[in-house]
């Protein structure tokens, strides 16, 4: 099973592109692998526990999380940082400036960016997922030993919904297919 996550709207927005895009995959499959979608609140309190509970419940072979980032690109995040900052939707700051007292400064995703050229926005690799809940989702999943990755999407509010989905669904499909193929190849060798 694939676990695909998005986020609820935040910072006064009426919608979050990650929720819209993730939701468009619910109940679908990549090959024969089913996709389950979960939408996360933009709240620091209990975030780690929510991720742990989802992983325990669904036992995904792959987790891809989506969030909104910059307006002009899709960012494939290679690195999660042990960093927490910014007010959440309840107006709270994280308890500390790091996610895990015992954790390393950074963790690298095992997922790989597919060699594709999206039509509307460039797909770029970055080494900095920020310090907000998107980064926290990536870092905490990696810390727990999960095969996880993160895509930052363009901000939906600046685009037509149907065009947004049409442009981004193939990118998410390609990331999932590419990384499932790697998993299947590894299990065949084992």
Closest CA to 58 of 118, 125, 3: 3
Give the pLDDT score at 184. 59
- Phi first, then psi, for residue 13 (nearest 5°) are -75, 150
Query: Which two three-digit tokens encode residue 140?
Result: 């905490």
The predicted-structure confidence for 75-101, as pLDDT tens digits, reads as follows 999 999 999 999 999 999 999 999 999
Give the pLDDT score at 183. 65
Are 74 and 159 spatial neighbours (Cβ–Cβ below 8 Å)?
Answer: no
Please tell me the pTM assigned to this model: 0.94
Give the pLDDT score at 81. 97
Give the pLDDT score at 182. 72
Give the pLDDT score at 181. 82
Query: In 5-158, which ranges are continuous DSSP H helix?
Result: 17-23, 47-58, 133-143
What would the CATH number be for the domain defined by 2-189?
3.40.630.20
Are 169 and 24 spatial neighbours (Cβ–Cβ below 8 Å)?
Answer: yes
Break the chain into its structural domains and give their ranges: 2-189
User: Could you list the pLDDT tens digit for every one of the 190 residues in the chain?
Assistant: 999 999 999 988 889 999 999 999 999 999 999 999 999 999 999 999 999 999 999 999 999 999 999 989 999 999 999 999 999 999 999 999 999 998 999 999 999 999 999 989 999 999 999 999 999 999 999 999 999 999 999 999 878 999 999 999 999 999 999 999 876 544 333 3
Look at phi and psi of residue 181 and say left if phi exceeds 0, alpha if psi is from -120 to 50, else beta.
Answer: alpha
């Amino acid at each position: 099973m694939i676990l695909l996550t998005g986020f609820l709207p935040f910072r006064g927005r009426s919608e979050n592109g990650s929720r819209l895009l993730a939701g468009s995959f619910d109940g679908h499959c990549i090959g024969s692998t089913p996709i389950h979608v979960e939408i996360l609140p933009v709240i620091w309190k209990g975030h780690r526990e929510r991720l742990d509970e989802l992983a325990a419940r669904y036992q995904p072979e792959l987790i891809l999380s989506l969030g909104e980032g910059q307006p002009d690109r899709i960012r494939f995040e290679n690195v999660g940082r042990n960093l927490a900052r910014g007010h959440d939707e309840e107006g709270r700051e994280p308890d500390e400036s790091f996610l895990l007292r015992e954790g390393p400064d950074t963790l690298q995703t095992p997922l790989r960016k597919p060699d594709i050229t999206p039509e509307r926005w460039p797909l770029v690799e970055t080494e900095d997922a920020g310090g907000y809940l998107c980064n926290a989702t990536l870092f905490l999943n990696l810390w727990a030993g999960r095969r996880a990755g993160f895509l930052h999407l363009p901000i939906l509010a600046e685009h037509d919904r149907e065009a947004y989905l049409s442009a981004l669904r193939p990118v998410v499909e390609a990331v999932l297919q590419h990384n499932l193929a790697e998993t299947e190849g590894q299990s065949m060798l084992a």
